[in-house]
Amino acid sequence: MLVNKFWGPSYKRICEAIHERGGLSILHSCGDNTKLFDYFIKWGFDGAHAYEPTSNVDIYKEKKLHGDKLTIIGNMNVDYLLTERSKPEEVIEETKKLIRYLAPEGRFILAPAHSHAEVDMSKEKVMLETIWNYGKYPIIP
């Protein structure tokens, strides 16, 4: 794949430099990148964000395929759930679902898929409070 030829060597060098200094490397990449996750791991990334629910990324499938090699960050829907159109109960339900199915065994950080002007901070607060109440390890599915 050409993406590996063009970007692989540079990303490998960046990740190696970060790791040599004791850091972890996280990649933010929008859209459906399911064909690239193996490359992200090969290049040395420790985590990836955003796992957008509106871009056909099945986060549950990706957790099974890559969750032991790559920390999954994101997936809270910003097109509806974290907007003024949703109900707090919907945010709580989705947050608990993501914790229940993705947090066991670690390597998952629940976060908004993106940040933009439509995000209602009161809904983000509901998400965070739900994480604080239900997201303590050990997670029992």
pTM of the shown model:
0.90
Architecture of domain 2-134: Alpha-Beta Barrel (3.20)
Name which of 70, 18, 63, 64 is nearest 39 in CA terms: 70
Residue, of 67 and 116, whose pLDDT is higher: 67
pLDDT per residue as tens digits for the range 24-65: 999 998 889 899 999 999 999 999 999 988 898 899 999 999
Domain residue ranges in the chain: 2-134
Q: How many residues does the chain have?
A: 141
Q: What is the pLDDT, as a whole number, of residue 87?
A: 98
Q: Residue 113, SS3? A: coil
